A and B are shown apart, each in its own frame.
Chain A
């Protein structure tokens, strides 16, 4: 009974709100917030004795370690629930005089640079430790000390070259499949379009995996790595969906618009993914993992020709538009260069995770678009050539990923 009465009261209130003016609406939005703030202030605020149990432990994370001339530089962030002072620095558990900039007091989430003068040796492992005011020591292991890469013109062009090899050229090579795809029969074409979906599914999962891996290895628990990836991926998925919808509407009724818009979205999604690849290569080179770097360059280059194919496939039923195709190749490939720069010069694990999560959302958005497009163009989805295409696409990606 009470429930019903309550329900009716709510309904009545809602009706009233609807009828009232905008200011009243605004007030009705604000009131619950005010009450909530008062309650939180009362329960948790100063003078409250409700929550005075347990011990609050400080936590800091050393996010990055750089080796420069006669100095080791650590980037530290307060990832704990309380403000801390960083008071001591050590290398390999030996205390050294050091400096912290801008200052030693770190509020929550605040970060600082710790400069430790130290004659380090190239190629040797080091542990960098920082102690906070309650005596707790936090450590970051570096497997190999390598001079940190400065953004000189030489290094910038070096990374640009690598980005070109990994991103642009393979994608453009992949686009050369265009004539082949355009000559295919309808069912075979469907198969190759579905193949693209398989390729993208694989890329989406691998991008998400990489984002989660980086967050697990380099980000403090406070960032809730997996949830950060999930949130950013979903937001990027929704955002790109919105943009994609606009794009399609603006393109109007033109028959061409559909395929071109989809190819463009594929290119954008792949571009974000390639940004992640560039990031990985740049970071590997910076971290001194030359073998891994070289490995990634070859691997990604082979892998990325399939991405050119993915862009070419939806446009294959339209007439050949070389300019548009090439532009899309660039959209998909050029971000690899930016990724290599970011990864090489301003590597931040948090930024990397965010970029990769955006890429994940973008790729899944593209998958949905293609599936919708196949459905519109070809009827149903559960068609044998479509299913086979998706499966073969994933298998191809898996095999190329373990072979290299």
Chain B
């Protein structure tokens, strides 16, 4: 028979060995799935795993924000005519700062939103229209809307801080100048308010319009999800790699117009590179004459412009930041150009 001291020693030894063993080799308890899953790498290799896939490349994403919809969604406001014939466009924008959004598969981030989304709605007016924005701040912090463009000083959204939990302000100004502009919260620290998502695109069309085109908006943005002063994710329209997995459908020989606005914070510059064709570039969209015919444009913070191009050949064409760090952290996508002569294709043929 063992003495109680010996028993104690044995129990101690067994317990400590078991615990140490669990800590050292916990991965031994592998519960293999019945069906191995398969994923495709960036270079096309097919890899099989019994576990979970990180960054599912070719599956439908279920993120809350829909970049597909945002791309071609323009808010023209509630339209009415003033007595003098001026068009009045009224918009309602509500700021919130408590939303947790899945900004990349599995990554949940506290976004601050205009009308519940990042970026906020794309506001569109014609030069000379009276724009009236009914702004409500339902957030816990103070917010404003600062529009780039022409307006009186008291409509600038800088000194007119809108209080939290229901504070209101009405921004009113004549739309101008023609072009593509950002709007964003201007409460300090501005970097924080922009970094969390309080920004959007404001388009002012010329009075006699632009040539018909397949128009889209690309807000270049980034998120510093761990607050270490470096962006973890970059994208055109919030969701990293979205248009790479879900190519933007366009038609060959049709004019494509992209309104690009760079709101990436923390990094001083961003850029845009297009494959397979070159574009006419209109800085800030304020002039009707392009400044360049190129496939690479550099954007500083809040710099923006209009790109016009068309594809001659069908197929997949990448567009992405030529800063490879940004492109490989999400800011890359694909245009899928289809033959415009095929039936059932919507759109307008350029030059017809």
Q: Tell me the A residues contacting B by CB distance below 8 Å.
A: 70, 75, 77, 85-90, 93-104, 109-115, 117, 119, 131, 133-137, 235, 239, 242, 348, 350-351, 354
A350 lies within 8 A of B52 (CB):
no
List 21 A–B pairs whose Cβ atoms lie within 8 Å, in order of A's numbering: A86-B54, A88-B55, A88-B105, A94-B325, A95-B330, A96-B41, A97-B42, A97-B57, A98-B54, A98-B55, A99-B49, A103-B31, A113-B51, A117-B45, A133-B107, A134-B107, A134-B109, A135-B107, A137-B225, A235-B16, A239-B9
| B106 on interface, CB distance cutoff 8 Å | yes
A101 lies within 8 A of B30 (CB):
yes
A101 lies within 8 A of B54 (CB):
no
**A87 CB contacts on chain B under 8 angstroms:** 54, 104-107
| B329 on interface, CB distance cutoff 8 Å | yes
Minimum-distance CB pairs A-B, first 5 = A135-B225, A87-B106, A101-B51, A99-B49, A94-B328
B20 lies within 8 A of A354 (CB):
yes
A350 lies within 8 A of B24 (CB):
yes
Give residues of chain B (102-136) contacting chain A, Cβ–Cβ below 8 Å: 103-109
A99 lies within 8 A of B47 (CB):
yes
B226 lies within 8 A of A135 (CB):
yes
**CB nearest neighbor in B for A130:** B54
**A97 CB contacts on chain B under 8 angstroms:** 39-42, 47, 53-57
Q: Name the one of A109, A235, A242 contacting B23, with C-beta atoms under 8 angstroms.
A: A109
A111 lies within 8 A of B26 (CB):
yes
Q: A87-B106, A242-B9, A354-B24 are in contact. Are A102 and B51 (CB under 8 A)?
A: yes
Chain B 228-245, CB within 8 Å of chain A: the 1/0 string? Answer: 100010000000110000
Q: Among A85, A97, A235, A239, which residue has the most Cβ atoms of chain B within 10 A?
A: A97
**CB nearest neighbor in A for B23:** A350
A135 lies within 8 A of B109 (CB):
yes
Give residues of chain B (1-56) contacting chain A, Cβ–Cβ below 8 Å: 9, 12-13, 16, 20, 22-27, 29-32, 37, 39-43, 45, 47, 49-56
Q: A94-B325, A111-B27, A134-B108 are in contact. Are A89 and B55 (CB under 8 A)?
A: yes
B13 lies within 8 A of A239 (CB):
yes
| B223 on interface, CB distance cutoff 8 Å | yes
Complex Cα spacing A137 to B325, Å: 16
Complex Cα spacing A102 to B240, Å: 26
**B225 CB contacts on chain A under 8 angstroms:** 131, 134-137
Complex Cα spacing A95 to B324, Å: 11
Complex Cα spacing A404 to B12, Å: 41
Give residues of chain B (85-111) contacting chain A, Cβ–Cβ below 8 Å: 103-109
**A101 CB contacts on chain B under 8 angstroms:** 30, 49-52
Complex Cα spacing A193 to B107, Å: 63
**A354 CB contacts on chain B under 8 angstroms:** 20, 24
Q: Among A88, A114, A135, which residue has the most Cβ atoms of chain B within 10 A?
A: A135
**B40 CB contacts on chain A under 8 angstroms:** 97
Q: Name the one of B22, B55, B104, B105 contacting A96, with C-beta atoms under 8 angstroms.
A: B55
Complex Cα spacing A345 to B51, Å: 23
A20 nearest CB across to chain B (Å): 18
Complex Cα spacing A148 to B332, Å: 33
A351 lies within 8 A of B329 (CB):
no
Give residues of chain B (64-99) contacting chain A, Cβ–Cβ below 8 Å: none
Complex Cα spacing A354 to B49, Å: 32
**B232 CB contacts on chain A under 8 angstroms:** 131, 135, 137
B197 nearest CB across to chain A (Å): 13
B106 lies within 8 A of A88 (CB):
yes
Complex Cα spacing A88 to B104, Å: 9
Besides A94-B325, A95-B330, 8 more A-B contacts (Cβ < 8 Å) are A88-B107, A95-B55, A95-B241, A95-B328, A97-B54, A109-B23, A113-B27, A348-B25
**A348 CB contacts on chain B under 8 angstroms:** 24-25
B55 lies within 8 A of A104 (CB):
no
B108 lies within 8 A of A112 (CB):
no
**A110 CB contacts on chain B under 8 angstroms:** 26
**B57 CB contacts on chain A under 8 angstroms:** 97
Complex Cα spacing A89 to B325, Å: 14
Q: Name the one of A94, A100, A134, A135 contacting B54, with C-beta atoms under 8 angstroms.
A: A100
**B25 CB contacts on chain A under 8 angstroms:** 348
**CB nearest neighbor in B for A110:** B26
**A86 CB contacts on chain B under 8 angstroms:** 54
B43 lies within 8 A of A119 (CB):
yes
**A104 CB contacts on chain B under 8 angstroms:** 51-52, 54, 106
B106 lies within 8 A of A85 (CB):
yes
**A96 CB contacts on chain B under 8 angstroms:** 41-42, 55
B288 nearest CB across to chain A (Å): 39
Q: A93-B329, A99-B53, A110-B26 are in contact. Are A133 and B47 (CB under 8 A)?
A: no
**CB nearest neighbor in A for B21:** A351
**CB nearest neighbor in A for B9:** A242
B41 lies within 8 A of A114 (CB):
no
**CB nearest neighbor in A for B103:** A135
Complex Cα spacing A23 to B13, Å: 26
**B32 CB contacts on chain A under 8 angstroms:** 102
Complex Cα spacing A17 to B22, Å: 38
Complex Cα spacing A133 to B106, Å: 6
A100 lies within 8 A of B51 (CB):
yes
Complex Cα spacing A115 to B50, Å: 11
Complex Cα spacing A34 to B52, Å: 40
A26 nearest CB across to chain B (Å): 14
**CB nearest neighbor in A for B45:** A117
**CB nearest neighbor in A for B27:** A111
Complex Cα spacing A348 to B109, Å: 34
Give residues of chain B (188-233) contacting chain A, Cβ–Cβ below 8 Å: 223, 225-226, 228, 232
Q: A133-B108, A136-B225 are in contact. Are A99 and B329 (CB under 8 A)?
A: no
Complex Cα spacing A135 to B226, Å: 6
B226 lies within 8 A of A136 (CB):
yes
Complex Cα spacing A351 to B25, Å: 9
A68 nearest CB across to chain B (Å): 12
B15 nearest CB across to chain A (Å): 11
Q: Name the one of A88, A135, A239 contacting B108, with C-beta atoms under 8 angstroms.
A: A135
B22 nearest CB across to chain A (Å): 8
Q: Name the one of A85, A102, A109 contacting B50, with C-beta atoms under 8 angstroms.
A: A102
Complex Cα spacing A75 to B330, Å: 25
**CB nearest neighbor in A for B330:** A95
B44 nearest CB across to chain A (Å): 10
A99 lies within 8 A of B30 (CB):
no
Q: Among A75, A85, A98, which residue has the most Cβ atoms of chain B within 10 A?
A: A98
B47 lies within 8 A of A115 (CB):
yes
B110 nearest CB across to chain A (Å): 9
Complex Cα spacing A342 to B108, Å: 40
A100 lies within 8 A of B52 (CB):
yes
**B27 CB contacts on chain A under 8 angstroms:** 75, 102, 111-113
Give residues of chain B (278-308) contacting chain A, Cβ–Cβ below 8 Å: none
